[in-house]
Structure 1
Amino acid sequence: MLRIMLADDHPMFREGVRSVLDSAEGMTLVGEASNGDEVVRLALELQPDVVLMDIRMPGLNGIEATTRIKASNPAIHVLILTMFRDDASVITAMKAGARGYILKDSEREDIIRAIWAVASGEAIFSGDVAARMIDYATRPVSRLDAFSDLTYREKEVLGLVVEGCSNSDISKRLELSPKTVSNYLTNIYNKLQVADRAEAIAKVKEMEV
């Protein structure tokens, strides 16, 4: 019997997933969490086989929660179940240790199949997410890849800076808070050893020569 935990801050969605699990053979729901801190605590207490993890939650987000759970017990498998399909979310989730990434509008059978796949150690993605992963893996090398100290998200933020986006634009495009964007920029400037936006752009432009 697979022991499942569910982490999502929307009660109605948890209710829907609960009904899916109740009707599935060989699975039992052992706990629910409505925020990142709670799912980390409960996962380490209940030791489920699989955690169904949303990305955007109060407190710790799903990526941070996944990192902490995997660091404490690598045997707990994490399946991301979210509505976000952007490249950065998928890549960072995989780097955090998630074994699968499916969307909330997936069919009941696809969710159940994904749970079994992740529980057996396989990696699984929703169809359109898998297509995006293939596109990401096969796209030409970016000039930003020369900055190996930057994380994927930092490269994404820097790329938008080079395109001329303001902090507000970046916040909307990446669905990040203004403070988070500002923090990313501070990290980028420190890693590139530049003082401001203009110097960062100039440093990227140098890579084109």
Structure 2
Amino acid sequence: MLVEDNAEYRQVIAPAINDELDIDLASQFGTAERALDSLQEQADSVKPDVILLDLRLPGMDGLSAIEHLRAQSNQAKIIVLTQSDHEEDVLRAISCGAAGYLLKSATLSQITDGIRTVYTGGGLLNTKLAAMIMRRLKKLLPSDERLEMLTEREVEVLSLLADGCERKSIADQLRISNATVCTHVAHIYEKLKVQNAPAAVAKAFRFGVLPTQ
């Protein structure tokens, strides 16, 4: 489901999503109220797996809508898709239950890859926004806890590296692109302050980021 009041932007996003063989855009609405009405009216039918949600909507804004959308369709993962890169918007969206946050400057492929990532249980943040969140959290955590700041998806990638999987195999198993895997690996190396996969795996086990069993 797409909830976006800008008709021109919907006309760009909708065909791109429907061009993907494994993704179907079932519905689109210009307001959160209409989206919620639709979910309530179709309570017994198939509900969306992923909802793309703008923040700046007429009537009920996107941040207020997140809780209501999750209540109406509790299995749906919500990706905020907005122009706002304000730190408070990002933090509030995540605290309200959004599984992802993308800026509208994202490419169409980044959006469709993001839908797959969230659908398979991963979290999603624009790289710039992720760095911002990391900086905020690092101020709150003592230094000996900072190695645990890998995202769920990064831990998944690191676990597969520990199993000896190559990057192409990781991409296939997680249903993400090779480029996305490379980005995750680069972030892992940076966070763990290592130069290669064996060092990352060893350090992750040593500090309890990966389980020993």
1:113-145, CA deviations, whole angstroms, 9 ceiling, x for partnerless residues?
11011111211111111111111112369xxxx
C-alpha distance in 1 between matches for 2:136 and 2:5: 30
Contact 1:87/1:136 (<8 A) preserved = no
Contact 1:33/1:42 (<8 A) preserved = no
1:67-86 aligned within 5 A: 67-86=67-86
Partner residue of 1:103? 103
1:34 to 17, 30, 33: 30
Contact 1:39/1:65 (<8 A) preserved = no
Contact 2:3/2:29 (<8 A) preserved = yes
Partner residue of 1:15? 11
CA-atom RMSD in angstroms: 1.5
For residues 21 and 134 of structure 1, do their structure 2 counterparts lie closer, same or farther at Cα, with a shift above 3 Å needed?
Answer: same
Deviates more, 1:35-44 or 1:86-95: 35-44
For residues 138 and 74 of structure 1, do their structure 2 counterparts lie closer, same or farther at Cα, with a shift above 3 Å needed?
Answer: same
Which amino acid counterpart does residue 94 of structure 1 have in structure 2?
I
1:1-209 aligned within 5 A: 5-44=1-40, 45=42, 47-139=47-139
- Relative to the length of structure 2, the TM-score reads 0.61
1:6-52, CA deviations, whole angstroms, 9 ceiling, x for partnerless residues?
00110000011012112212111111110121122224436111110
- Give 5+ residue unaligned stretches, structure 1: 142-209
Which amino acid counterpart does residue 127 of structure 2 have in structure 1?
G
C-alpha distance in 2 between matches for 1:138 and 1:38: 40
**Normalized per residue, which structure has more strand?**
1
Which amino acid counterpart does residue 61 of structure 1 have in structure 2?
D
C-alpha distance in 2 between matches for 1:66 and 1:14: 19
- Give 5+ residue unaligned stretches, structure 2: 142-213
Contact 1:52/1:81 (<8 A) preserved = yes
- Relative to the length of structure 1, the TM-score reads 0.62
